Amino acid sequence: MDLWRAGGARPIPYGGSMGAVGRTGRAGRARWRLLALAAAVLALAGCTGPTPGHPLAARGWHALTGAHGSPHLPRARDEDPADDRGATTVEGSGGTPVVAGGRTPRPKHVVVVVFENKKANSVIGSRHAPYLTGLAHRGAYLTESYGVAHPSQPNYLALFSGSTHGVTGDRCPERLHADNLAAQLRAAGDSYASYAEGLPSTGFTGCTAPHYDRAIAPWTDFTSVPAGTQRRFSAFPRDYATLPTVSFVLPNMCHNMHYCSVATGDRWARRALDPYARWAQTHDSLLLVTFDEDDDTRVNRIPTILVGQPVRPGRYAEHVDHYTMLRTLEAMYGLRPLGTAADRRPLTDVFRRPAAHPAVVG
């Protein structure tokens, strides 16, 4: 960084002396002292800028040094989740000290929302998706997240049960006698429900209805999932503290971007999801937003975002897919990994964990 130019003074010519500064008079000497102070602060702060409330911050750090914040999302540091050496203590929501990196948390509530058929760069960073792009800034954005198949239905089955069960299309109905996340949660004493926009009635098992398609509601295929847990989105609680442990939310076939535009889905997300997203950031809860598949390319890279109090905001570049996300949900609640999810490692680096308190002596 050229502190001379940042301060408005000229650099001393090679072979010159400090006396050259004296020729600028008192203003020059004052400027020199200010620049020296800035250099000292930079050295102490590791060039990261002054803390809020520091005198240099009040004077305008960017104006003094020419430094600018990155226009990109903050990148998360790769680290061994089991190794806290070098981890930094930061302030969590509500002022709770947390250690960066750690184990999978156990949120009070998780809401999983699945959109349709969009590749990552069609949404995140798009001028048509300002809300979801902003949500990626607020949370953990998984930049290397992938669907596992085409078309839609196998992806939903993978996320919900750890297997595509040999399903290769969107045929309806499917009838599966297999274990799944809902059955696991209920057997462990936790609660589960799905909330589908466009669902005509609780427990509806028909294949289609206006703006609803059973092929993207995988819980309807499993005989072990009670019909009463399959609810209309209008039943989504306004008191979020009464939500089940894990909920799945399906926007209708327009709002999920299947038939309608990214902008339409983004507006729905702002209206329908943002109140819960903000609540989750102060109530030990989590919002997971993902897509089933991209727009039918071989790459199949999709947007996936996590937001909530346990989350470390940033960009994370590890390769993840629907099996990874299921494995993470299972790890949160101590559940046995199902199917291919057993071959994945749960996410840990995207989460904070409570800092260890020092032992009290005496």
**Tens digits of residue pLDDT in 208-241:** 999 999 999 999 999 999 999 999 999 999 999 9
CA pair distance 87, 96, nearest whole angstrom? 16
Domain's final residue, options 65, 84, 109: 65
Residue 258, in any domain of the structure? yes
330 and 217 within one domain = yes
Domain's final residue, options 65, 82, 111: 65
Please answer whether residues 316 and 143 qualify as being in contact, where contact means their C-beta atoms are separated by less than 8 angstroms: yes
Question: How many independent structural domains does the chain possess?
Answer: 2
The pLDDT of residue 150 is above 70: yes
Strand pairing partners for 232?
196
199 and 113 within one domain = yes
With CA atoms as reference, report the closest residue to 147 among 333, 359, 296: 296
- Determine the pLDDT at residue 146: 98
Please state the rounded mean pLDDT for residues 294-322. Answer: 98
Residue 76, in any domain of the structure? no
328 and 185 within one domain = yes
106 and 34 within one domain = no
Q: How large a percentage of the chain has pLDDT more than 90?
A: 69
The pLDDT of residue 316 is above 60: yes
348 and 224 within one domain = yes
Hey, is 25 helix, strand or coil?
A: helix
User: What is the pLDDT confidence band of residue 63, given thresholds at 50, 70 and 90?
Assistant: very low
Please state the rounded mean pLDDT for residues 161-186. Answer: 98
- Determine the pLDDT at residue 207: 98
Residue 89, in any domain of the structure? no
Domain's final residue, options 39, 65, 91: 65
CATH number, domain containing residue 154: 3.40.720.10
Residue 73, in any domain of the structure? no
- Determine the pLDDT at residue 353: 72
276 and 148 within one domain = yes
Please answer whether residues 324 and 346 qualify as being in contact, where contact means their C-beta atoms are separated by less than 8 angstroms: yes
For residue 23, what are the domain limits? 3-65
**pLDDT tens for each residue of 100-132:** 456 899 999 999 999 999 999 999 999 999 999
**Single pTM value for the model:** 0.72
Please state the rounded mean pLDDT for residues 187-214. Answer: 98
Please state the rounded mean pLDDT for residues 49-63. Answer: 34
Residue 123, in any domain of the structure? yes
User: What is the pLDDT confidence band of residue 327, given thresholds at 50, 70 and 90?
Assistant: very high
Q: How many of the other CB atoms lie within 10 Å of CB of 295?
A: 14
Looking at this protein, which amino acid is placed at residue 262?
A: V
350 and 240 within one domain = yes
- Determine the pLDDT at residue 92: 31
Please state the rounded mean pLDDT for residues 62-88. Answer: 31
Residue 12, in any domain of the structure? yes
**pLDDT tens for each residue of 17-34:** 333 333 334 444 444 454
With CA atoms as reference, report the closest residue to 104 among 128, 82, 121: 82
User: What is the pLDDT confidence band of residue 43, given thresholds at 50, 70 and 90?
Assistant: very low
45 and 109 within one domain = no
- Determine the pLDDT at residue 212: 98
- The DSSP H or E segment spanning 215 is none
User: What is the pLDDT confidence band of residue 354, given thresholds at 50, 70 and 90?
Assistant: low
Please answer whether residues 326 and 184 qualify as being in contact, where contact means their C-beta atoms are separated by less than 8 angstroms: no
147 and 30 within one domain = no
- Determine the pLDDT at residue 247: 98
∠ Cα 176 199 213 (to 5°) = 55
278 and 131 within one domain = yes
Residue 335 burial by Cβ neighbours in a 10 Å radius (0-12, 13-18, 19+): buried
30 and 144 within one domain = no
Residue 85 or residue 224, greater confidence: 224
The pLDDT of residue 47 is above 60: no
What is the overall mean pLDDT for the chain?
79
Residue 340, in any domain of the structure? yes
Residue 54, in any domain of the structure? yes
117 and 58 within one domain = no
Q: Lowest-confidence range among 85-89, 197-201, 248-252, 357-361?
A: 85-89
